[in-house]
Structure 1
């Protein structure tokens, strides 16, 4: 129990250091790949994100979704990748190779779709090599480049706002 507290403290310290050194760089490259991090206890409909990818003109093979399960109840075959706190070690080290591959991939956009203040989810958002990060309102505003203030159950509003802001930033491909 004491070691768990020390591990959490080391991960918080690592996250703060990483976020304080983060440089935001936004270019006008078009969105071709999309990564999504979510909490499996908060969201249970994967098709919402496929619909979002289609709406943003992203091919299905360029969409990758990972889910965090704070409880031990993993949902195999439902998410592409489901992970838990045991997949993250001290100082933000990742123990799961599939999870590390997701974080190493340079997505054009990463969506952090979770409301609970879970350290592991914030670590993954911070560790991601995504070029542009979008999230819903969270306690730490340093995690995302664009924050859309919606509730988890207002996905249609979130979807429209993402499209609107990516269009304003000239990141949506015009397909006609």
Structure 2
């Protein structure tokens, strides 16, 4: 138990060092690839994102959705990509090849669609090589380039706001 606390502290320290060194680099390039990071306890509709991206003109290989699962008993019910707290080591070390490839992929946009302040999801967002990061309000603002203030269960409003801001930024 005490080791878990030290592990969390080392990972939080790693997140803080990543965020303090982060420099936003904006480009006018159009969105071609999107990554989505979910917390399955808050929002579990993978398909709603896929349908939304298809309506924007983006199709399957260009979009990747992954979810964090806190309760390992729910794993058997999922068909999509997921990760658990055991996939993380000390000082930001990632122990899953699939998760590491998600982090290293340079998405044009990363959507962190969660409101719960979870160390693991924050770590993935901070480590991601995405060019533009979008998140929901209520978390560490240093994680994102764009913060949208909507309730997690109001996906319709989120879709409208995201499209509006991506259009204003000439990314769509």
TM-score with structure 1 length normalisation? 0.94
1:120 aligns with 2:120: yes
**Structure 2 unmatched runs, 5+:** none
Q: Which residue of 2 aligns with 1:54?
A: 54
CA–CA separation in structure 2 for the residues paired with 1:138 and 1:79:
29
Q: Equivalents in 2 of 1:34, 1:40: separation in Å? A: 18
* Higher share in helix: 2
Aligned match of 1:137? 137
Q: 2:68 maps to which residue?
A: 68
The ranges of structure 1 where at least 4 consecutive aligned residues each deviate by more than 4 angstroms after the TM superposition are none
Give the secondary-structure state (helix, strand or coil) at the position aligned to 2:135.
Answer: strand
Determine if contact 2:38/2:44 at 8 Å carries over to the other structure.
no
**Do the aligned partners of residues 122 and 169 (structure 1) sit closer, same or farther apart at CA in structure 2, a change above 3 Å counting?**
same
- Could you tell me how far apart the structure 2 residues matched to 1:36 and 1:138 are? 18
- 8 Å CA contact 1:112, 1:136 repeated in 2: yes
Runs of at least 5 residues in structure 1 that lack an aligned partner in the other structure: none
Does the CA-based 8 Å contact 2:112-2:135 persist in structure 1?
A: yes
Structure 1 CA distance, aligned partners of 2:24 and 2:139?
19
- Equivalent residue, structure 2, for 1:97: 97
Across the two proteins, how many residue pairs are aligned to each other? 172
Distance in 1 of aligned mates of 2:76 and 2:53: 22
